[in-house]
Amino acid sequence: GEGRAGRQRESTTHCPYCALQCSTVLSGERGGVAVRPSADFPVNRGGLCQKGWTAPSVLAAPDRLLTPLVRAADGTLAPAGWDEALDLVAGRLREIRARHGADAVAVFGGGGLTNEKAYTLGKFARVALGTSQIDYNGRFCMSSAAAATTAAFGLDRGLPFPVTDLDGADVILLAGANPAETMPPLMRHLEGADLVVIDPRRTRTAERAALHLRPAPGTDLALALGLLHLAVTEGLVDQEYVDTRTAGFDAAWEHCTAWWPERVEEVTGVPADELRTAVRMLGGARRAYVLTGRGAEQHSKGSDTVAAFVNLALALGLPGRDGSGFGTLTGQGNGQGGREMGQKADQLPGYRSLADPADRAHVAAVWGVDAKTLPGPGRSAYELLDALGTGAGPRALMVFGANPVVSAPRAAHVTERLRSLDLLVVADFVPSETAALADVVLPVAQWAEEEGTLTSLEGRVLRRRAHLTPPPGVRTDLEVLHALAVRLGQSAGGFPVRPREVFDELRRASAGARADYSGISYARLDAGEALHWPCPAGADGNGAGDGHPGTPRVFLDRFAHPDGRARFTPVDHRPPAREPDAAFPLYGTTGRVLAQYQSGAQTRRVPELVAAAPEVIVEMHPDTARRFGLAEGSMAEVGSVHGTTRARVRVTRAVRPDTVFVPFHFPGAGRANLFTGDALDPRSRMPEFKVSAVRVTPAGER
Ligand code: SF4
């Protein structure tokens, strides 16, 4: 609220980082902003992790971008005025489009962008640029979960129930999720349950588990098939639920008849007894949940792996039941909203499909364009990056809210593709590794300087509020897109700069769609209503009145398929794209650490977080360190056929002797993604971040 004399001005908003979207209260002026958790928000209940507590540091980052930068003749990035920079970008975009066609211009977005920005970015690409070439970094995050749950339930909402429902659970199975490290306040909601954790690493979450299953990397699909097999043979299937609420059980069962426990043990390394214990715990619980995270999803078979865990949950009768369920733990701050708003290669706002004539017609009408002019689906994120600057690929790229030089797989190759472009434009608030390669850098506002909405992992739409005005010289992403759209010949009214106006438009674009926001308004959110989508407008059509109460639990009565039934998906196990061999004898896997976030562009600028996690490490088992002649604290090279990462050795029994782990937050030669490859999931187009075949060798200190 606005301060009065003698009272400090405070703003209630949300953390800039992960999808838990902890509520915070900001106070103080620029340079001295203080943060505290708000006590009454049910998700974090007065808790924040180290990243949330220190987030104001990023507002005062010493290398904050405060003026546009344009690549000068001598190759350096030189300060420029806004008009100069925007004229240059629009002129080059027009030129490249005239010479090579509309698809020669591409857009890369981010799962941290507000709903309003993600929506406008999709509209900008399809209307102002007329390109099909737009995708975003959420492809690297949630796409496998989205593909699998859309097929199973007819709808992709990460948690189809509120986070607080987990408080009442007796047993929770976490497959490839490490919330104790990635979103610590969530652990408060898991305290009452016995945890079954599936993870090759002994993570902080696994340390708190009643049972920890440690499969070899890339084998969790076999493990899930084995659990379903045991659910059947142990008589734990909820037959009435399967008969009345699902379809396709027989086909799914056929694929796992051969996955008896001893065979699963052989493939995964998990003892058959532990499998039995796990399925008995889960099947015997009154209230149970199955949750997946990136560990199960970031594979070339990620969507099938999630489907196998969905099958297990369906057989046990969990999804759509009060007090039980299946969910996926979304990662990025607006990972949920970001994947609904139309910055994905195949989607229009509200999860509408670019391939569906009725969906195209609806959105075209809202945008005031002819549906025939809307481009079709484009390339997925990695395929887009891989095609840059090649014969058939885009010649220009605009990046908003992403840092693919660090976060994309096969990073050396992607960096080379970015360098080969005729034009690279990056909008960011700090000079990220990707901005360093740009021809034009546009300085934009960040979290505490802007209004908007985000949709958290539980499908709840939240208000982000501006506590500060952006520093002089800095514009919002919406202002940047507006100015470029106008320069590209669009009407000023087509690209509003006020987030509230954009939100009102996206409500109409999503009306009647699966992710329906039409009944949500800033007024309702500001009045403190807890609104989870779908939230269709009331009979008055504007939804701002006595509107729909929102849908905290989406599948209680029926699933979102036309017949109301969930679908089993028949899936089978297959090995990762590349298994360890004589030359590359170990599994290399990547992930996160508590004190850093994603590509680290923000958290590597926070002194407390740098002190806690200053540099890239490679975790390896003592036997592995001995075998390859590496000592604690020495530098190692972790190499695959794709490239080599330099990291400091941390010897720990938390990893298996056949596996090394490298967090992906660090830049330069320490990028974990230098060794990850380009194998993609055929359905979700998710890269295989979690399994590479690597070797480790000693490296000299630089
Ligand atoms: Fe921010 Fe996530 Fe930490 Fe909460 S758990 S403070 S949202 S990073």
Which CATH number do you get for residue 416?
3.40.50.740
C-alpha 226/C-alpha 65 separation (Å) is 52
Distance 249 CA to ligand 1 centre (A): 38
**468/599 same-domain check:** no
Determine whether the shortest distance from the Cβ of 185 to ligand 1 is under 6 A: yes
Distance 604 CA to ligand 1 centre (A): 16
| ipTM for this prediction | 1.00
Q: Is residue 561 in some structural domain? A: no
Cβ density class 33-42: b for 16+ within 10 Å, e for less: bebebbeebe
**288/326 same-domain check:** yes
Distance 112 CA to ligand 1 centre (A): 13
pLDDT at 536 over 60: yes
Mutation probe of ligand 1 site: the residue of 51, 457, 602 with most atoms within 8 A of C-beta:
51
Q: Is residue 93 in some structural domain? A: yes
pLDDT at 702 over 90: no
Determine whether the shortest distance from the Cβ of 20 to ligand 1 is under 6 A: yes
Work out how many domains the chain is built from and give that number: 4
pLDDT at 311 over 80: yes
Instruction: Among 302, 331, 360, give the residue marking a domain's end.
Output: 331
Instruction: Among 526, 555, 573, give the residue marking a domain's end.
Output: 526
C-alpha 148/C-alpha 684 separation (Å) is 8
When pLDDT is cut at 50, 70 and 90, the band that residue 372 belongs to is very high
Determine whether the shortest distance from the Cβ of 609 to ligand 1 is under 6 A: no
Q: What is the pLDDT of residue 86?
A: 98
Phi/psi of residue 100, nearest 5 degrees:
-120, -5
**621/597 same-domain check:** yes
Phi/psi of residue 6, nearest 5 degrees:
85, -10
**34/98 same-domain check:** no
Ligand 1 atom, smallest distance to 48 CA: 6
Instruction: Among 282, 314, 331, give the residue marking a domain's end.
Output: 331
Average model confidence (pLDDT) across the chain: 95
**340/450 same-domain check:** yes
Q: State whether the Cα torsion 226-229-233-238 is positive or negative.
A: positive
Distance 20 CA to ligand 1 centre (A): 6
C-alpha 420/C-alpha 431 separation (Å) is 20
pLDDT at 527 over 50: yes
Protein residue closest via CA to atom 5 of ligand 1: 183
Determine whether the shortest distance from the Cβ of 454 to ligand 1 is under 6 A: no
**39/153 same-domain check:** no
Determine whether the shortest distance from the Cβ of 22 to ligand 1 is under 6 A: yes
Ligand 1 atom, smallest distance to 15 CA: 1
Protein residue closest via CA to atom 4 of ligand 1: 22
Q: Is residue 269 in some structural domain? A: yes
How far is Cα of residue 50 from the mean position of the Cα atoms in its chain?
A: 20
Determine whether the shortest distance from the Cβ of 145 to ligand 1 is under 6 A: no
Contact between 657 and 548 under an 8 Å Cβ cutoff? The reply is: no
Q: What is the pLDDT of residue 582?
A: 97
Distance 321 CA to ligand 1 centre (A): 28
Distance 36 CA to ligand 1 centre (A): 12
**214/257 same-domain check:** yes
Among residues 580, 693, 699, the alpha carbon closest in space to that of 630 is found at 699
When pLDDT is cut at 50, 70 and 90, the band that residue 538 belongs to is low
Q: Which two tokens stand for residue 581?
A: 């061999």
When pLDDT is cut at 50, 70 and 90, the band that residue 8 belongs to is confident
Ligand 1 atom, smallest distance to 186 CA: 5
Q: Is residue 539 in some structural domain? A: no
**199/55 same-domain check:** no
Q: What is the pLDDT of residue 2?
A: 42
Distance 51 CA to ligand 1 centre (A): 6
Contact between 217 and 659 under an 8 Å Cβ cutoff? The reply is: yes
pLDDT at 543 over 70: no
- Residue 75 gets the label, from left (phi > 0), alpha (psi -120 to 50) or beta, of left
Q: What is the pLDDT of residue 400?
A: 98
Protein residue closest via CA to atom 3 of ligand 1: 49
CATH number at residue 31: 3.30.200.210
- 331: which DSSP letter? -
**102/159 same-domain check:** no
Q: Is residue 352 in some structural domain? A: yes
pLDDT at 658 over 70: yes
Ligand 1 atom, smallest distance to 44 CA: 4
Ligand 1 atom, smallest distance to 182 CA: 5
CATH number at residue 275: 3.40.228.10
Ligand 1 atom, smallest distance to 184 CA: 5
C-alpha 257/C-alpha 277 separation (Å) is 19
Q: Is residue 204 in some structural domain? A: yes
pLDDT at 700 over 90: no
Tens-digit pLDDT profile for residues 560-583: 999 999 999 999 999 999 999 999
Mutation probe of ligand 1 site: the residue of 15, 26, 57 with most atoms within 8 A of C-beta:
15
Determine whether the shortest distance from the Cβ of 163 to ligand 1 is under 6 A: no
Distance 47 CA to ligand 1 centre (A): 9
Tens-digit pLDDT profile for residues 73-110: 999 999 999 999 999 999 999 999 999 999 999 999 99
Determine whether the shortest distance from the Cβ of 51 to ligand 1 is under 6 A: yes
Distance 288 CA to ligand 1 centre (A): 25
Distance 44 CA to ligand 1 centre (A): 8
Q: Is residue 577 in some structural domain? A: no
Q: Is residue 134 in some structural domain? A: yes
**151/113 same-domain check:** no
How far is Cα of residue 89 from the mean position of the Cα atoms in its chain?
A: 29
Q: What is the pLDDT of residue 29?
A: 93
pLDDT at 5 over 50: no
Determine whether the shortest distance from the Cβ of 48 to ligand 1 is under 6 A: yes
Distance 182 CA to ligand 1 centre (A): 8
pTM of the model: 0.96
Residue 665 lies in domain: 586-698
Determine whether the shortest distance from the Cβ of 255 to ligand 1 is under 6 A: no
State the burial class of residue 98 (Cβ atoms within 10 Å of its Cβ: 0-12, 13-18, 19+).
Answer: exposed
**113/38 same-domain check:** no
**345/226 same-domain check:** no
